[in-house]
Amino acid sequence: MATTESDLAALEEDVLDRLTEEAGGVEADIERAAGAPEEAPIEQPIGRIAVAMAFPVIATAIMTGGVFSGTSPRIYGAVAGVLGIGLAIVANRQRRLSSTMIIVALGIFAIGALMMIPTGVGNIGSLASLVKEANTQGDLTRPPVPFIPGWHAVLGWLMAVVGFSAAWVALAFRKPALALVVPIPFAALGGISVPKDQQIASGIVVLVLFVFGLVLLSSSSGLEGDEKPTLAYEVRNALRSLLVIIPVTALLIGASQLDFLFPKPNINPAEEPQKPKTVPLSKVVDRPLFRVKSDLTGPWRMGSLDVYDGTDWRLAAISDANVKPVPKNGVIDASLTPRVEANFRVLGLTGAVLPGLANPYGLQAKGIIPSFDYRSSNIRLASGTLKPGNEYTVQGAGLPTIAELESVVEPNPADVVQFTEGVGSQPPAVADLIAKSDALPSRWAKFDFLRNFVLDNVVATGVGVPVSITPQRVDQILTSLEATPYEIVATQAMLARWIGVPSRIGFGFDGGEKVEGKTLEIRPKNGATFVEVFFPGFKWVPVVGTPKKAKPSVSSDPNTQQTDPNILPSDDVTIQVFLPVITPPESVFGEQLLRGLLVGLPIVLFLLLIYSTYPAARKSRIRSRRRRGAQELGPRARIALAYAEFRDVATDYGFSHPTDTPLMYVERFIEDDEHTELAWLVTRVLWGDLQHDASLELAVAADELSRSLKRRVGSAQPATVRFVAAVSRLSLRNPFAPDLNASLSGKTKEEPEYATASA
C-alpha cells in the first residue's frame, strides 16, 4: 500500500512539473480545434429534415383547414406552415439572440398578413377589426365556418407557429424525431372541430402524411455530418415504406366503415336537449335587428322549447336527423298551402338562426345556404353566420280561423304524442281549473278557456327570463295569481298538455316599429315568447297572448320596455321615487387595455419562450461545431473536448470552479470511479505520459465517461433543476474552455471574455 501511495505521489509530482511546462496547453489544443477549417454545412440533411417536417405540418393544415368551408383553407394553412419551416431555417442561422427574436416575430406576423393578400391588399390595414370579426363568428357558429378574411390571418399565424416550432426543434435542438410530435396536438385540436363526415377521411390522410415524414426522417443520417446515404438507398427505402403504407391505408379505410372500430355512442352530449341561455333585456344593446315586409305583424319565429323534463323547458337537440338542407326549389313542406309571405332583411342580427314564419311552406334566398330544422320548425344557415344585408323571403301557411280549430276532431298523430307528456299528474288548483272546462265542446275551446283564465287573472311581474317551473309552481301561480311573463307562457303550455293538446314554448319576436308602408323594424325589445299548440291539419299554431295586468317596471330605459295600452296596472300599487344624480361616464380605458393585453400577451409569451430556450439551441450548435473541429484534430483534442463538455454541464448545475484542474475538481465531490478515471485520463493525455500516445480507443472512452457523468449529474437533480440547467446561460458566459466562436468568426461585442482552465 505504501508503494502505491509513493508511486501516486511521484506521478502527481511529474504531472505538476508538466503542468508548469505546458501552461495553457489545454487552451491551445482546443483553440486549434476551433481554428480547424469548419466543414461546410451539410445542406442535404437540413433540406431532407425540413421536407420531413413539412409532411406533419401539411397534415395539421389539412385537419385544421377542415374547420372552414371549402378546400382553400387547407391550401392556405399548408403554405403558411411551409413558410414557418423556412422561417425556422433562416432564424437558426442567426448568431445574435436579438436578431433571431426580431426575425421570428416579424416573420410570423408577415406570414399571417401574406395569407390575407388574396382577399384584398386593403384588408391588411383593417387586420385588427377583421380578426375580431372572425373571433366573434367563431363564438356563434359551428364548423364548417366561412373562411372570411380574418380567418386567413388567424390560420396563417397558427400554421406558421406550428411549422416554425417543428423545424426549430429539429434544427436548433437537434431533435428531429421529437419535432415530428410537435404538430400532433394542433392536428388533434383541429380534428375535434372538423365536421363529423370529414373526420375519418381527414384522419387517414393525416396518418399517412405523418408516416411519410417519419420514413423520410429515418433515411436521414442526422445533423452531425455522417456519411450521406446514396440516392439508390433512399429510393429503395421509400418504395419499401410504400409497400406498408398502401395496404395499411386501405385497411384503415375499410375498417372505418365497421361499427366495432368506430361505434356510435349511446349518449352524445351534443344531441341532448339543452337549457336556453338568455341575456336580460337590460343588458342587450338596443339596435335594429332586422326588417320585415309583410301583411302580418308577427310572430317572427326563432325556435321553440319543446322538451319538458319535469322541471325545465329545454331546447330540442340539433341533430342531423332533424336538420335538412332546403331543396333547390325552396319548398320546405309541400303538404302546406302558401297563404302568407314575409320578406326579411338582416340588419344587426347575428348567429345562425333566421327569423321566419310559423309553418313555413318555402324559402327563397340569395347569397346564403339555408337548412330547416323539422323538429323546432326554424330556419338555420347550413354554415357561417348572418351578415347585414342578407335578404330572403319566407312563404307560410298562415293561421287558421277559430271555427276551423273548433272543428278539429282527429286524434293527434303518433309523432306529436310526445309533446303531451312529461307534465305529471295535475295539482289541485290545476285539476279544479280543468274541471271547469270539461263541458266545453272542443279541444280548442278548452285550451282557449284555460289560457284566457291565466291571461286575465295572473299578474305579470319581473322579467321574462326562462326559469325552472314545476307542476307545484303552476299550482302556486294559479293560487297566488302572480308570475313572471315566462312563467305565464309556460303555465299555458303545461295546461295544454294536461288536457291532451300537444304544446311547446315558441320564442322569437312579435310586432315591431313601422318604418314605411308594411315594413316593420324589429329591435331586442320586440322579443317575445308564446305558446304553440298542434292541431291536426294545421300543424303548429302560435297563440300570442298578453296578460291583462302587470306590475310596473322600475327600468329607466324606455328602449328595454314594451308599451301596451291594453295592459292595466295591478291592484297592488307601488310608487318609485327617482332622484337625479350626476354620474361620470364609464371609462373605456380598462376595456382597451384588456384588448391590448389579449392581443399582445400571446406574442410576448412566444418571444419569451424563444428567449428562454435559445441558450439550449446555442449550446447545441456550439457543441456540434466543436465536435467537428476536434474530430479533425484527432484523439487528444476529442478527449480535451469531452472533459470540457462535462465541466460546462456541471457549470450549468452550479458546480463551476473554472480554475480547478481535473484532479483538483475530483476532490470537491464524493469518491466516484468514473469521475476519477476521466480526470486521470485527461491529465495523462494532455499533460502526462500519454500526450503523444493518445489513441482512438482512449477518445471513445473519454466520450463515454463524459456522457455517463453528464447523465448521472442530471439524474441526481430534480426535474425543475434539470430544466433550468438546460436553458442556463452560465456555461455560455463562463465556459471551462475558451469560447470557440472567437477564433471562427471574430469576437463580437456581445461575447464576453471567458474564463479559462488555468493550470
Looking at residues 72-99, what average pLDDT do you find? 85
> Is the pLDDT higher at 610 or at 117?
117
In-domain check, residue 273:
no
Say if residue 148's pLDDT is above 50.
Answer: yes
Length of the chain: 759
Say if residue 30's pLDDT is above 60.
Answer: no
| Coil, helix or strand at residue 486 | helix
DSSP letter string, 389-410 = T-EEEEEE--PPPHHHHHT--P
Strand order in the sheet with 459-460: 482-483, 459-460, 549-550, 568-569
pLDDT 10s digits, 513-556? 888 888 999 988 888 889 999 998 888 989 888 777 655 544 44
pLDDT of residue 582: 52
Of 447, 358, 449, the residue nearest 400 (C-alpha): 358
Q: Tell me the CA end-to-end span of the chain in Å, nearest whole number.
A: 29
Where would I find the H helices in 481-588?
Answer: 485-498
Strand order in the sheet with 313-315: 313-315, 300-308, 503-509, 527-535, 539-543
pLDDT 10s digits, 411-420? 888 888 888 8
Q: How does DSSP classify residue 283?
A: G
31 and 142 co-located in one domain: no
Say if residue 465's pLDDT is above 90.
Answer: no
What is the CATH number for 460? 3.10.620
Of 399, 351, 353, 397, the residue nearest 376 (C-alpha): 353
469 and 416 co-located in one domain: yes
Please check whether residue 177 is in contact with residue 169, taking contact to mean a CB–CB distance below 8 angstroms: no
What is the spatial distance between Cα 617 and Cα 402, in angstroms, rounded to a whole number? Answer: 81
369 and 463 co-located in one domain: no
Residue/partner pairs of 275-279 with CB below 8 Å, 24 or more apart: 275/312, 275/314, 275/315, 275/466, 276/305, 276/313, 276/314, 276/315, 276/466, 276/507, 278/465, 278/466
Using CA atoms, how far residue 758 sits from 240, 314, 661, in Å, is: 56, 80, 7
pLDDT of residue 196: 61
pLDDT of residue 230: 57
Which of 342, 377, 396 is the C-terminal boundary of a domain?
Answer: 396
53 and 22 co-located in one domain: no
Q: How does DSSP classify residue 274?
A: B
518 and 613 co-located in one domain: no
Say if residue 562's pLDDT is above 50.
Answer: no
In-domain check, residue 230:
no
pLDDT of residue 231: 54
pLDDT of residue 389: 86
Confidence of residue 437 (pLDDT cuts 50, 70, 90): confident
pLDDT of residue 553: 46
Say if residue 256's pLDDT is above 70.
Answer: no
426 and 542 co-located in one domain: yes
623 and 640 co-located in one domain: yes
47 and 31 co-located in one domain: no
Looking at residues 30-59, what average pLDDT do you find? 64
Using CA atoms, how far residue 612 sits from 398, 498, 615, 744, in Å, is: 68, 68, 7, 26
Share of the chain above pLDDT 90, in %: 9
In which domain, by residue range, is 342 found?
286-396
In-domain check, residue 389:
yes
| Cis bond upstream, residue 144 (ω within 30) | yes
714 and 604 co-located in one domain: yes
What's the sign of the alpha-carbon dihedral 382, 385, 391, 395? Answer: positive
| Coil, helix or strand at residue 377 | coil
> Most confidently modeled of 269-273, 289-293, 303-307, 599-603?
289-293
Say if residue 379's pLDDT is above 70.
Answer: yes
Please check whether residue 386 is in contact with residue 405, taking contact to mean a CB–CB distance below 8 angstroms: no
Say if residue 269's pLDDT is above 80.
Answer: no
pLDDT of residue 494: 93
In-domain check, residue 49:
yes
Confidence of residue 113 (pLDDT cuts 50, 70, 90): confident
pLDDT 10s digits, 279-305? 555 566 778 899 999 988 888 988 888
Of 734, 723, 740, the residue nearest 655 (C-alpha): 734
Lowest-pLDDT range of 46-55, 546-555, 620-629: 546-555
Please check whether residue 187 is in contact with residue 234, taking contact to mean a CB–CB distance below 8 angstroms: no
In-domain check, residue 176:
yes
Say if residue 511's pLDDT is above 80.
Answer: yes
> Is the pLDDT higher at 88 or at 591?
88
What is the spatial distance between Cα 129 and Cα 138, in angstroms, rounded to a whole number? Answer: 14
Confidence of residue 306 (pLDDT cuts 50, 70, 90): confident
Confidence of residue 563 (pLDDT cuts 50, 70, 90): very low
564 and 447 co-located in one domain: yes
Question: How many domains, in total, are found in the chain?
Answer: 4
Confidence of residue 748 (pLDDT cuts 50, 70, 90): very low
pLDDT 10s digits, 633-670? 888 888 888 888 888 888 888 888 888 888 888 888 88
Which of 379, 396, 413 is the C-terminal boundary of a domain?
Answer: 396
Where would I find the H helices in 141-281?
Answer: 149-171, 176-179, 184-193, 196-218, 231-255
In-domain check, residue 366:
yes
Say if residue 210's pLDDT is above 80.
Answer: no
322 and 359 co-located in one domain: yes
Nearby residues of 636 by Cβ (< 8 Å), 6 or more positions away: 29, 685, 686, 691, 694, 699
Lowest-pLDDT range of 128-142, 406-420, 581-595, 700-714: 581-595
What's the mean per-residue pLDDT of the chain? 76
> Is the pLDDT higher at 84 or at 736?
84
| pTM for the predicted model, two decimal places | 0.49
Say if residue 479's pLDDT is above 60.
Answer: yes
Looking at residues 80-93, what average pLDDT do you find? 88
pLDDT of residue 40: 43
Of 744, 715, 703, 756, the residue nearest 621 (C-alpha): 744
Say if residue 7's pLDDT is above 60.
Answer: yes
In-domain check, residue 243:
no
In-domain check, residue 757:
no
pLDDT of residue 661: 85
pLDDT 10s digits, 335-376? 888 889 999 999 888 878 889 998 899 898 887 888 888 888
pLDDT of residue 176: 77
Share of the chain above pLDDT 70, in %: 70
pLDDT 10s digits, 225-244? 445 555 565 556 556 555 55
Which of 366, 396, 426 is the C-terminal boundary of a domain?
Answer: 396
148 and 92 co-located in one domain: yes
> Is the pLDDT higher at 681 or at 125?
681
| Cis bond upstream, residue 73 (ω within 30) | no
